[in-house]
Amino acid sequence: MRTHRIRRLEAWPVKMVLTEPYEIAYETVESTTNVFLRIETDGELVGYGCAAPDVHVTGETAEDVLHSLNGTAELILKGSDALRPARSLEIMKSKFPNAGATRAAVDMALYDLMGKASNLPLWRILGGYRCSIKTSITIGILPVRESVDRAKEYVREGFRCLKIKGGKDLERDIERVLKIRDSVDRRVELRFDANQGYTVEEALQFVEGTRRARLELIEQPTPKGEPELLGRITKRVPVPIMADESLTSLRDAFKLAKHDLIDMVNIKLMKVGGIGEAIQINSVARAAGLETMVGCLDESALGIAAGLHFALSRPNVVYADLDGHFDLINDPSAGAVKIRNGSLYPNDKPGLGWDPERKFTGKPVSTRRLA
């Protein structure tokens, strides 16, 4: 059987401005820099990956990622068999234990190579449980009237699930959620993300104050460094509680599940280090009876494609928050995924569906989004 030895790595940064800045509990974002990765083999195969570093989430900058990929990572991977990703990713994990975005870029490129070698889209290779998945679209921290207008706009565009950001002003958060609920069809699902902005007591007040809104879930209400606080909320409220920032590794998943601290987990490839690690974390979640959501940061369509292919492959990945590419200007990988009536679809090209040497017909979505 022919092997495909890795001959060369090339990484480069791409700065993408958002069509509209957004605000969450701890920052306002106007642009993002993704680092694209090209892995070339000694055959004709070329794989592509993408890192979306975020100091608050992954602890990395774009400069960190570039230095790692063009330095140590190339030394590790050069000459290795590109179609043995588990071995290469295990070595990467030992060298970069706290660099999820760096590892995610390599992981994506290696899985992309597997798909291209098989001439199949990756979601089919990974299991192919479903063909598409509904995604939420996010409403940032805005005044009440603007929040309502944004919710109506998204529903008109076909989105059936809205994710509302908060965590800075408890009373205003309650008002925004209730006003949005009153403004959209009851069949439109509402999720809330506090981005670590609440105390336990505030979270309990929020749940009580928004009871009639029938929220589908509440994401990371308390600080990530104190996961036991999530457990105190989970045990006292009827709304499912989801861990996001508190989950960055397989060990985190095990500890959260072992102590029954949450009802759901949000797996972001940039946090955990890519598809390979996400599969293992999801297995822990499934064994513990926890539902999974695949989320994202401010990521190009290539990064979103990787999350989507993983989400389509597993039965207990029942939620998606994959809107990180919607509002990015000049995304070089636009077209790697498709959206229709609020659901994401792969483009069914081999691997992750992107090759910059081929012209894609996809175009950036003209809706607003948040991480």
Which residue, 66, 87, 119, sits at the end of a domain?
Answer: 119
Residue 66's contacts (CB-CB under 8 Å, 6 or more residues apart) are: 11, 12, 13, 35
Domain that holds residue 182: 124-346
Distance of CA 339 to the CA centre of its chain: 16
pLDDT of residue 359: 44
Same structural domain, 90 and 134:
no
Report yes or no: 112 and 85 within 8 Å, Cβ to Cβ: no
Answer yes or no: is pLDDT of 50 > 90.
yes
Strand ranges, E, within the chain: 6-23, 28-41, 46-51, 133-134, 137-139, 161-165, 189-193, 217-219, 241-243, 264-268, 291-295, 317-320, 337-340, 343-346
The token pair at 268 is: 């972001």
217-273: pLDDT as tens digits? 999 999 999 999 999 999 999 999 999 999 999 999 999 999 999 999 999 999 999
Query: Does the annotation count 363 as an active-site position?
Result: no
Domain assignment present for residue 165? The answer is yes
pLDDT of residue 114: 97
The one catalytic residue among 116, 165, 338, 349: 165
Query: Does the annotation count 157 as an active-site position?
Result: no
Burial class (CB in 10 A: 0-12, 13-18, 19+), 339: buried
Answer yes or no: is pLDDT of 93 > 50.
yes
Residue 359 is classified by DSSP as -
Query: What does the alpha-carbon distance between residue 275 and residue 280 come to, in Å, rounded to a whole number?
Result: 9
Query: Does the annotation count 244 as an active-site position?
Result: yes
pLDDT of residue 367: 39
Same structural domain, 174 and 54:
no
Answer yes or no: is pLDDT of 87 > 60.
yes
Report yes or no: 335 and 301 within 8 Å, Cβ to Cβ: yes
Mean pLDDT of 355-370: 48
Same structural domain, 221 and 257:
yes
Q: Is the pTM of this model over 0.85?
A: yes
Same structural domain, 131 and 74:
no
Same structural domain, 203 and 341:
yes
The one catalytic residue among 54, 60, 189, 244: 244
User: Between these two residues, 26 and 279, which has the higher pLDDT value?
Assistant: 279
Residue 364 confidence class, pLDDT cut points 50, 70, 90: very low
Average per-residue pLDDT in the chain?
A: 94
Tally of domains within the chain = 2
Which CATH number fits the domain that encloses residue 334?
3.20.20.120
pLDDT of residue 2: 67
DSSP string over 223-259: -TT-HHHHHHHHTT-SS-EEESTT--SHHHHHHHHHT
Same structural domain, 158 and 305:
yes
Domain assignment present for residue 358? The answer is no
pLDDT of residue 22: 80
Mean pLDDT of 83-102: 96
The one catalytic residue among 54, 189, 193, 263: 193
Query: Does the annotation count 165 as an active-site position?
Result: yes
Answer yes or no: is pLDDT of 361 > 90.
no
Domain assignment present for residue 94? The answer is yes
Mean pLDDT of 96-109: 98
Query: What does the alpha-carbon distance between residue 48 and residue 110 come to, in Å, rounded to a whole number?
Result: 8
Query: What does the alpha-carbon distance between residue 278 and residue 270 come to, in Å, rounded to a whole number?
Result: 10
The one catalytic residue among 107, 216, 219, 323: 219
Q: Which helix (H) or strand (E) holds 95?
A: helix 85-95
Answer yes or no: is pLDDT of 25 > 90.
no
Same structural domain, 67 and 173:
no
Q: Whose CA is closest to 268, among 242, 290, 247, 289? A: 247
Share of the chain above pLDDT 90, in %: 90
Query: Does the annotation count 268 as an active-site position?
Result: yes
Domain assignment present for residue 355? The answer is no
The one catalytic residue among 93, 163, 224, 268: 268
Same structural domain, 136 and 246:
yes
Domain assignment present for residue 362? The answer is no
Domain assignment present for residue 23? The answer is yes
Answer yes or no: is pLDDT of 142 > 80.
yes
Domain assignment present for residue 108? The answer is yes
Answer yes or no: is pLDDT of 363 > 70.
no
324-344: pLDDT as tens digits? 999 899 999 999 999 999 999
Same structural domain, 203 and 63:
no
Residue 362 confidence class, pLDDT cut points 50, 70, 90: very low
CB-CB neighbours of 198 under 10 Å: 25
pLDDT of residue 120: 97
